[in-house]
Amino acid sequence: MKRWLIAGLGNVFKGDDAFGVEVVKRLADRAWPTQVDVVDFGINGIDLIYALLDQYDAAVLIDTYQHAGAPGTLYVIEPELPVAGEGLDPLDLMLNPHELDPTKVLRMVAAMDGRCHRIVLVGCEPGDFGGEWEGRMGLTDPVVAAVDAAVSVVDSLIDEWLAGHPGTSTQKSIVPGLTMAAPQRAGDAT
């Protein structure tokens, strides 16, 4: 049986970076089929790597995504996944245990020949992460407003995957006003 992961990423001490965590909080309260797991990874990249290596066939990663849009703009991106051993610099694989860099996670999974072959990023343009030393608690208003729309996007993606029609949500807008980005290479995603 195929298994799917819904992963919330972000740091709750850095303002809008907590977007993925907030979306997953709302999604975790729902009844999901047994093949769908909803997990708040926060900034724990190591656990996400292990999950993507061999537990899941596909994953939705929910995180901030800086793409020069207005704060609160949502993007649905299916990155081109790196190929195992192809053009990977060992420095690209170095992880910071206090941050989660989705690009490095995907490179690490590829380098270890992971089996998760489909990743979709539901990203939100952040407004404020707070200062380097003082941080910031809570999401800005535009990002708070994007949380419900992101929940709808994830619902639609999972419904399509369960129905055996993956891919349509990354080609068209699911939510009115949703900004759709062109697919990006994994190395371009933040």
Q: Determine the distance from the C-alpha atom of residue 188 to the mean position of all C-alpha atoms in its chain, rounded to a whole number.
A: 14
Report pLDDT for 119: 82
Q: What is the CATH number of the domain that holds 83?
A: 3.40.50.1450
- H or E segment and range at residue 21: helix 19-28
Rounded mean pLDDT of the chain?
Answer: 76
Report pLDDT for 132: 74
Report pLDDT for 130: 79
Higher model confidence: residue 103 or residue 123?
Answer: 123
Structural domain that includes position 46? 4-188
pLDDT confidence tier of residue 154, bands split at 50, 70 and 90: very high
Most confident of 8-22, 51-65, 131-145: 8-22
Give Cβ neighbours of residue 163 (< 8 Å, ≥ 6 apart). none
Higher model confidence: residue 102 or residue 92?
Answer: 102
- Encoded tokens for 156: 């639609």
Higher model confidence: residue 92 or residue 43?
Answer: 43
Can you give the three-state secondary structure of 92-120, one letter per residue?
A: HHCCCCCCCCHHHHHHHHHHCCCCCCEEE
Exposure string for 56-66, b = 16+ CB within 10 A, e = fewer:
bbbbbbbbbbe
Whether 123 and 79 have beta carbons less than 8 Å apart is answered as: no
Whether 112 has a pLDDT exceeding 70, the answer reads no
Most confident of 69-73, 83-87, 101-105, 178-182: 69-73
Whether 25 has a pLDDT exceeding 80, the answer reads yes
Report pLDDT for 170: 45
Among candidates 81, 161, 71, which has minimal Cα distance to 123? 71
Whether 79 has a pLDDT exceeding 80, the answer reads no
Residue with tokens 């941050």: 99
Whether 17 has a pLDDT exceeding 80, the answer reads yes
Higher model confidence: residue 178 or residue 17?
Answer: 17
Q: How many structural domains comprise the chain?
A: 1
